[in-house]
Structure 1
Amino acid sequence: MPGKRLIDTLRGEKTDRPPFWFMRQAGRYLPEYREIRKSASSFLDLCYTPGLAAEITMQPVTRFGMDAAILFSDILVVPHALGQEVRFVEGEGPKLVPVYNEAEIARLSMDALAQRIAPVCETLRRVKKILPADKALIGFAGAPWTVACYMVEGGGSRDFEKVRGWVCRDPKGFARLIDRITEATIVYLTAQAEAGAEALQLFDSWAGVLGEAAFASLVIAPARRIADALKMRFPQIPLIGFPRLAGANYLAYAGQSGMESMSIDYSVPLGWTRAQLQPQTVLQGNLDPMLVAENIDAALAQAEAIRRAFGGRPFVFNLGHGMLPHTPVAHVQALSDYLKTP
């Protein structure tokens, strides 16, 4: 059986070249995705329809030959599975009925969680059956802090004033929300591992809005709790954390989160990252997706700089955030072709 570059690399082994995959590698920039999207009544319906979600998961791997497929789903599956109303509005993004207090936290129920996440796990099983043997299958979840941001704000936000206000005003009450999300996330990722996921990524997109103390309690501590729970059951499955825009807090995350690997965003200097972070963790990142969308020559030059900076140790090439919807397919093809060279 052929080895899997991604899994070998995440375990700290050297491979013939750095493995690569892209965050949001399946999605709106692909014409085949847009065609399938027409057949679903809503984005969540797409996530919960295993046949369609499995096909979407496979689309970029089939077209570009990445070293991994990542589950097509959304980080808001967890609050939806807990009973919070979640919908996606075309052109506006997610809309949730906000959670404001402890009474509303108490209404978030684990009772139907397994049933509600079952279609997502079926997607993983279907992909596992058809994925080439040398490709890895990645599952994922939103990290508790980032999921809480959406749950409290009722959607995206510029400043996250409501959720940060709750943290400052009533830290013990807010901790109960984080605990509930953490508990659900452990169940969710455990189910993904049982369904065939070979690596798991925790997306903490809004980690960078927190100061040092809050970062430790709301980003690192839940990540460690999730990592410890998963490692008890699945010690062979590598875990990847992505505390986006964490800045100097990346250091603490790398050393304390329990994750074998850490994604970094494109704002982090390569030299500092190589010297300070790479000795502690298997890095993943960190090309600016805007470069890929707007200037493929500059993107290829930066990709070369990233591979040169991090190539002395095992690392995974990725973007520093998700692929943008207006990215030309030809640009992704050119980048993929380059990354497949030793």
Structure 2
Amino acid sequence: MSFAPLQNDTFLRACLRQSTDHTPVWLMRQAGRYLPEYCATRARAGSFMGLATNVDYATEVTLQPLERYALDAAILFSDILTVPDAMGLGLSFAQGEGPKFAKTVRTEADVATLAVPDMAKLRYVFDAVTSIRKALNGRVPLIGFSGSPWTLACYMVEGGGSDDYRAVKSLMYSRPDLMHRILAINADSVATYLNAQIEAGAQAVMIFDSWGGVLADGKFQDFSLAYTKRVLAQLKTEKDGVKIPRIVFTKGGGLWLDDMKDLDCEALGLDWTVNLAKARAAVGDSKALQGNIDPNVLFAPPEAIDREVAAVLESFGPPHQGAGTGPTHIFNLGHGISQYTPPENVKVLVDAVHTHSKRLRTQG
């Protein structure tokens, strides 16, 4: 499978801690409900899963934000819950509601039926990756992704989203053995899934540990981080001689940077509660850092967005320039973009990242 040569490799270079002429920017959930064109495509698809499982629609919505904004990467349009769906849990999305599973995983018998799913059931994802990569035509790199083993387990045990994580934490505390079995299967499933995305054309992969931050200290290391490590240990690190960067994002994970700095990955994503200068000092120069402006900054007037972008870039400090490798930054939100975000404000943010990051390099 051959693809067009990459025209803008700024994001990949930053992931690999190489010098770039500006700080690359992409946004979590950049293809989503804040865009009217996305809403129109979703309406044609009839449902969220109708959108995510249709290769042409998934390709269309992945590229939509790139038509509006000078983003430095595209991210596969999919959902983090495709893997448990392929395990037979029956994923659905009601209009205006979050995801729901028809079956939960809470008992010994439930866990006994779990296995790494047949990747043929996820063929629509891999076909979408290849389709998107071709449609990008080398414009920017394509990021593949999955939920982390712990985050997937939260949804699988709870049966959907949760305010208090009562079911999953009850299982963790009362039957840690069962929880570890779920997480081991999830980790092996995620690794297989991400490797298949890499084979299909993903040029970087990201693990979203969206709910790692709800765990107590000690439990995070045992039930989330250990299984993220198990995924990373199995991931392909290159394809056709080209390095495939791996990014790990734990929402609420700023407390545990000391534990995460030695992860076998290229970049760590940070939420908006973390100071980038302190994170850079804590992590050292072993990882690129990704983040971390508060998504709600996008509801402020343009001049405030511009000011806050500059503040985030300045808090990271001067990135590496010249030969070799050193500290680098990938600009992103501290979590996903809100569906209520004014689309024109996203342009202000993206343009401000490029303008200010170029200015800071000439000053440095």
TM-score (norm 2): 0.89
Residue 337 of structure 1, CA deviation: 1.6
- Looking at structure 1, the residues matched to 169 and 75 of structure 2 have their Cα atoms a distance apart, in angstroms, of 31
1:309 paired to 2:315: yes
Partner secondary structure for residue 38 of structure 1: helix
Q: Which residue of 1 aligns with 2:94?
A: 89
Residue 4 of structure 1, CA deviation: 0.2
1:199 paired to 2:204: yes
Question: Please, which moves more after superposition, 2-11 or 76-85?
Answer: 2-11
Contact 2:195 2:236 (8 Å CA) reproduced: no
Q: Which residue of 2 aligns with 1:55?
A: 60
CA pair 280-232 structure 1, distance change in 2 beyond 3 A: closer
1:70 paired to 2:75: yes
Residue 233 of structure 1, CA deviation: 6.4
List per-residue Cα deviations over 1:174-201 (Å, max 9, x = no partner): 1000011111111110110000000000
Contact 1:238 1:261 (8 Å CA) reproduced: yes
Question: Please, which moves more after superposition, 273-282 or 315-324?
Answer: 273-282
Q: Which residue of 2 aligns with 1:16?
A: 21
Matches within 5 A, 1:309-328: 309-313=315-319, 314-328=328-342
Q: Which residue of 2 aligns with 1:115?
A: 120
**Given residue 311 of structure 2, which amino acid in structure 1 is its aligned partner?**
A
- Looking at structure 1, the residues matched to 277 and 243 of structure 2 have their Cα atoms a distance apart, in angstroms, of 31
Residue 16 of structure 1, CA deviation: 0.1
Residue 10 of structure 1, CA deviation: 0.6
Residue 260 of structure 1, CA deviation: 1.1
CA pair 192-52 structure 1, distance change in 2 beyond 3 A: same
- Looking at structure 2, the residues matched to 291 and 3 of structure 1 have their Cα atoms a distance apart, in angstroms, of 27
CA pair 278-298 structure 1, distance change in 2 beyond 3 A: farther
- Looking at structure 2, the residues matched to 179 and 322 of structure 1 have their Cα atoms a distance apart, in angstroms, of 27
List per-residue Cα deviations over 1:283-327 (Å, max 9, x = no partner): 000011111134443332121011112242311000000010000
Partner secondary structure for residue 29 of structure 1: coil
1:240 paired to 2:279: no
Residue 232 of structure 1, CA deviation: 6.1
Question: Please, which moves more after superposition, 277-286 or 67-76?
Answer: 277-286
Q: Which residue of 1 aligns with 2:324?
A: none
Partner secondary structure for residue 229 of structure 2: helix
Matches within 5 A, 1:271-310: 271-310=277-316
List per-residue Cα deviations over 1:140-172 (Å, max 9, x = no partner): 000010111011111111110111111111111
Contact 2:237 2:243 (8 Å CA) reproduced: no
Contact 1:84 1:108 (8 Å CA) reproduced: no
- The unaligned stretches of length 5 or more in structure 2 are 320-327, 359-364
Give percent identity, aligned residues only. 38
Residue 271 of structure 1, CA deviation: 3.4
Q: Which residue of 2 aligns with 1:156?
A: 161
CA pair 84-196 structure 1, distance change in 2 beyond 3 A: same
Runs of 4+ deviating beyond 6 Å: none
1:270 corresponds to which of 267, 271, 276: 276
CA pair 110-223 structure 1, distance change in 2 beyond 3 A: closer
Partner secondary structure for residue 240 of structure 1: strand
Contact 1:95 1:154 (8 Å CA) reproduced: yes
Contact 2:254 2:270 (8 Å CA) reproduced: no
Contact 1:287 1:299 (8 Å CA) reproduced: no
Contact 1:18 1:311 (8 Å CA) reproduced: no
Q: Which residue of 2 aligns with 1:135?
A: 140
List per-residue Cα deviations over 1:46-87 (Å, max 9, x = no partner): 111000001100111121020100000000101001111111
- Looking at structure 2, the residues matched to 137 and 217 of structure 1 have their Cα atoms a distance apart, in angstroms, of 31
Question: Please, which moves more after superposition, 232-241 or 132-141?
Answer: 232-241
Residue 280 of structure 1, CA deviation: 3.7
Q: Which residue of 1 aligns with 2:219?
A: 214
- Looking at structure 1, the residues matched to 32 and 90 of structure 2 have their Cα atoms a distance apart, in angstroms, of 23
**Given residue 320 of structure 1, which amino acid in structure 2 is its aligned partner?**
G
- The unaligned stretches of length 5 or more in structure 1 are none
- Looking at structure 2, the residues matched to 295 and 89 of structure 1 have their Cα atoms a distance apart, in angstroms, of 33
Question: Could you say what the CA RMSD is over the residues aligned between the two structures, in angstroms?
Answer: 1.6
- Looking at structure 2, the residues matched to 116 and 89 of structure 1 have their Cα atoms a distance apart, in angstroms, of 22
